[in-house]
Structure 1
Amino acid sequence: MLEVKNISTFYGQINALDEISLHVDEREAVSVIGANGAGKSTLLKSIMREIRPKSGSISLSGQSINKAKTFQLVSQGMTLVPEGRQVFPYLSVWDNLLLGGYTLSNSQRMQKAEEVSEPFPILRERRDQMAGLLSGGEQQMLAIARAMMTSPKILLLDEPSMGLSPKLVYEVYEKISELHQQGTTILLVDQNAEMAIDFCTRGYVLMAGRLAGEGTKAELKGSELVHSSYLG
């Protein structure tokens, strides 16, 4: 479904990603783990065309997206839940959801908001509350539900565990797993290697902008590199 081939991305003279290649097949759950500054967020922004790689190619469903704009990728079935959640704090929970379906008609948006909020009962309970008053975990759930308003074929998640307590991290990953079980393809990046590996069917290890390893869940759990760097 998604194929990234040898992309290199720069910030000025700084090489943030160096010849990165990866792929995500339909209905897969793929994780990318790495420390802060490894290039994980840059990778997702490069895929979503928020940043333009200097070289390499990216294709979605067999079609090149090298020249695509971000909004076009959303309409093609790929959506990003950004790092830090980025909800609209002074709008209600429900208005945040409705904004996620800006390409839909009013009736379609209302119907879709009901649908995507079903796995997140807390969002329904607090639909009229300002989003900024939600807990960090609840805001993360809102950001995920808002992304699902576009009915993505593949969902990109940037650091979904960031800033959350261990209990909330577990709850958020539980909801992400439910979405995957319902058929959504997922590419996720996270510093929380243990949760990310447990979630994935396959994964990649990113270090200083370069791929340092890859494998199945079992192979990553058995990797000396992963253990010494992230699970030790």
Structure 2
Amino acid sequence: MLRVQNISTYYGQICALDNVSLKIEENEAVSVIGANGAGKSTLLKTIIGELRPKSGDILLNGQSIIHEKTFKLVSRGMTLVPEGRHVFPLLSVWDNLILGGYTLPAKERQQRAEEVTEPFPILRDRKNQLAGLLSGGEQQMLAIARAMMTAPKLLLLDEPSMGLSPKLVLEVYDKITELHMQGTTILLVDQNAEMAIDFCSRGYVLMAGRLAGAGTKEELKQSEIVQRSYLG
């Protein structure tokens, strides 16, 4: 489904990603782990078109997308839940969802909002509440539901556990797992290596903008570099 081929991405003269390659097949759940500053968010922003790689290529279903605008990639079935959630705090939960479906015909948005909140009943209960008054975990669920408004085939998740209590991390990962079981392909990056590895079928390790490892869930858990750096 997605092929990232030897991409290098820069911020000015600073190399944030250096010759990084990965792939994700349809219906897979793939994780990328790494410390803060490893390049995880840069990787997702490059895939979704917010940043342009200096070299390399990115293929979606066999077609290069490195020159595509982000809104066109959303229309082609890929969307991003950004780090920090970025809900609209002064709008209601429901209005946040409706905005997430901006590419849909107006008459379909309400129906789609009903569908995406099925796994998140708390959002239905608080549909008229301002999004800024939700807890961190509820805002993360709203950000995920909003991204699902366009029925993406590939969901990119950036640090879904950031700033959440251990209990809320488990709740959010349960919802992500439910979405995956329903058929959504997921590429997830997270500093919470233990949760990310348990979630994935395969994964990659980023260190200082370079790939430092890759393998199945079991291979990552047994990897010396993963055990030493992330699992203690």
TM-score by length of 1: 0.99
Amino acid at match of 1:5: Q
Listed one character per residue, the Cα deviations across residues 76-115 of structure 1 (whole Å, up to 9, x for unaligned) are: 0000000000000000000000000011122200000000
C-alpha separation between the residues in 2 aligned to 1:154 and 1:104? 17
1:112 paired residue number: 112
What's the secondary structure of 2:68's corresponding residue? coil
What's the secondary structure of 1:23's corresponding residue? strand
Number of aligned positions between the proteins: 232
Gaps of 5+ in 2: none
2:152 paired residue number: 152
C-alpha separation between the residues in 1 aligned to 2:41 and 2:22? 15
What's the secondary structure of 1:175's corresponding residue? helix
C-alpha separation between the residues in 2 aligned to 1:15 and 1:102? 34
Is 1:52 aligned with 2:26?
A: no
Amino acid at match of 1:19: N
Listed one character per residue, the Cα deviations across residues 106-157 of structure 1 (whole Å, up to 9, x for unaligned) are: 2200000000001000000000000000000000000000000011000000
TM-score by length of 2: 0.99
1:171 paired residue number: 171
Deviation at 1:67, TM superposition (A): 1.3
Gaps of 5+ in 1: none
C-alpha separation between the residues in 1 aligned to 2:158 and 2:9? 17
C-alpha separation between the residues in 2 aligned to 1:23 and 1:89? 35
C-alpha separation between the residues in 2 aligned to 1:194 and 1:60? 28
Is 1:33 aligned with 2:41?
A: no
Structure 1 moving runs of 4+ over 4 Å = none
2:208 paired residue number: 208
C-alpha separation between the residues in 2 aligned to 1:67 and 1:82? 20
C-alpha separation between the residues in 2 aligned to 1:101 and 1:49? 19
1:198 paired residue number: 198
Amino acid at match of 1:128: N
C-alpha separation between the residues in 2 aligned to 1:170 and 1:107? 35
Deviation at 1:164, TM superposition (A): 0.2
1:189 paired residue number: 189
Higher mean C-alpha displacement, 101-110 vs 162-171: 101-110
Amino acid at match of 2:147: A
1:161 paired residue number: 161
C-alpha separation between the residues in 2 aligned to 1:82 and 1:178? 19
C-alpha separation between the residues in 2 aligned to 1:128 and 1:142? 13
2:88 paired residue number: 88
C-alpha separation between the residues in 2 aligned to 1:15 and 1:166? 33
Identity of aligned residues (%): 79
CA RMSD of aligned residues (A): 0.4
